Homo-oligomer: A and B are copies of this chain.
Amino acid sequence: MTLEAPKLLTMLRDMIMIREFEELAMKLRAAGKIYGVVHPCSGQEAVAVGVCACLTNSDRITSTHRGHGHCIAKGADIRRMMAELFGRVDGYCKGKGGSMHIADFAIGMLGANGVVGAGLPMAAGAALAAQLDGKGDVAVCFFGDGAVTEGEFHEALNISAVWKLPIVFVCENNLYASNNAIAVQHHITAVAPHAAGYGMPGVAVDGNDVLAVHQAASTAVARARAGQGPSLIECNTYRWYFHSMHDKPPPETRPADEVALWKSRDPIPRLSNDLMARGLLSPAALQQMRAQVERELQAAVTFADNSPFPGVADLLTDMYAPDAART
């Protein structure tokens, strides 16, 4: 599959944006501008971007606790994301959700989720809606290798296979679930083989190669759009940092050489070098792209900082949909 240059540049820009957003979020969490817990996805950018590059706003995704990248790749406004992390009224959830519950329903991003595996059923529901709508839309759900050990993963795969739902299951296999290496969770550490039990295609791809991810996702999405049912894609990747942080980053517990190896497989230079080699990107253009990302992030912080905290009077709003009955 050959992608047009503008698309490739957008993918590069999105990966850079995710990386820089996460670097900034960690700093802002340490600085006390963000509260609670932050799970950065640095290093895994190629999965979100490679997959979401196949989607439109009428396709829907669900995400995980490590969800900032999925939001950005799906096209969310980083200003409203940042305001949400700051707990402000202009955040996506008016400050009620925070990092683990960012969502933008208008662009088909049905939410991050603090419960491992919990997004899969919701994505299957969105896929059912897409099937009933019959317009060729699809649903995608992102989840980690850890989610495969929750029953909801299997229930979602099974019903999607039986009903031929237009859905793509995207596993971000980053070799760890919190501090547990993958062998604590799995006897067979590959996830793709589970697809066979449900009679759906299951492939593993290099999750740090955005073009490989995009290729696999395109095949699966096309299949789904054509009414041929679900697919499972296992993207092998790695998170650069800790599982999560509160006010300070916890110490690294994984082997140093493992971390170093995976950092050497950084998906961003991999794409940018490729684009340069193909003459689609110059060092100056990359420089400019990075500067633009930087400016946007600064603007997002300013936006968030200028947004007020919700007032106590808003404690009970948003609980129930106001109009009790449709006519």
Flag if A184 contacts B196 (CB, 8 Å).
no
Question: Is A27 located at the chain interface by the 8 A CB criterion?
Answer: no
Q: Which of B159, B161, B197 contacts A194 (CB 8 A)?
A: B197
Interface 1/0 per residue, A196-218 and B, CB below 8 Å: 11111000000000000000000
Q: Identify the stretch in A130-138, A150-158, A270-278 within 8 Å (CB) of chain B at 4 or more residues.
A: A150-158
User: Mind listing 28 A-B residue pairs with CB under 8 Å?
Assistant: A149-B155, A149-B158, A149-B159, A150-B151, A150-B155, A151-B151, A151-B152, A151-B153, A153-B154, A154-B154, A158-B185, A158-B186, A161-B188, A162-B183, A162-B184, A162-B185, A162-B186, A162-B187, A187-B199, A188-B196, A188-B197, A188-B198, A188-B199, A193-B197, A194-B197, A196-B196, A196-B197, A197-B197
Q: Within 8 Å CB of A159, what residues of B? A: 149
Q: Within 8 Å CB of A196, what residues of B? A: 188, 193, 196-197
Interface 1/0 per residue, A156-200 and B, CB below 8 Å: 001101100000000000000000000111111000011011111
The closest CB in chain B to the CB of A198 belongs to B187
A29 vs B162: C-alpha distance in the bound complex, in angstroms?
36
- How many copies of the chain does the oligomer comprise? 2
Whole-angstrom distance from the CB of A223 to the nearest CB of chain B?
A: 15
Interface size on A, residues (CB 8 A): 24
Flag if B151 contacts A155 (CB, 8 Å).
yes
Q: Within 8 Å CB of A193, what residues of B? A: 196-197
Q: Within 8 Å CB of A154, what residues of B? A: 151, 153-154
Whole-angstrom distance from the CB of A152 to the nearest CB of chain B?
A: 6
Whole-angstrom distance from the CB of A127 to the nearest CB of chain B?
A: 15
The closest CB in chain B to the CB of A160 belongs to B187
Interface 1/0 per residue, A119-153 and B, CB below 8 Å: 00000000000000000000000000000011111
Q: Within 8 Å CB of A198, what residues of B? A: 187-188
Interface 1/0 per residue, A277-310 and B, CB below 8 Å: 0000000000000000000000000000000000
Q: Which of B151, B161, B187, B199 contacts A161 (CB 8 A)?
A: B187
Whole-angstrom distance from the CB of A182 to the nearest CB of chain B?
A: 10
Q: Within 8 Å CB of A186, what residues of B? A: 158, 162
Interface 1/0 per residue, A232-259 and B, CB below 8 Å: 0000000000000000000000000000
A193 vs B153: C-alpha distance in the bound complex, in angstroms?
17
Q: Within 8 Å CB of A153, what residues of B? A: 151, 154
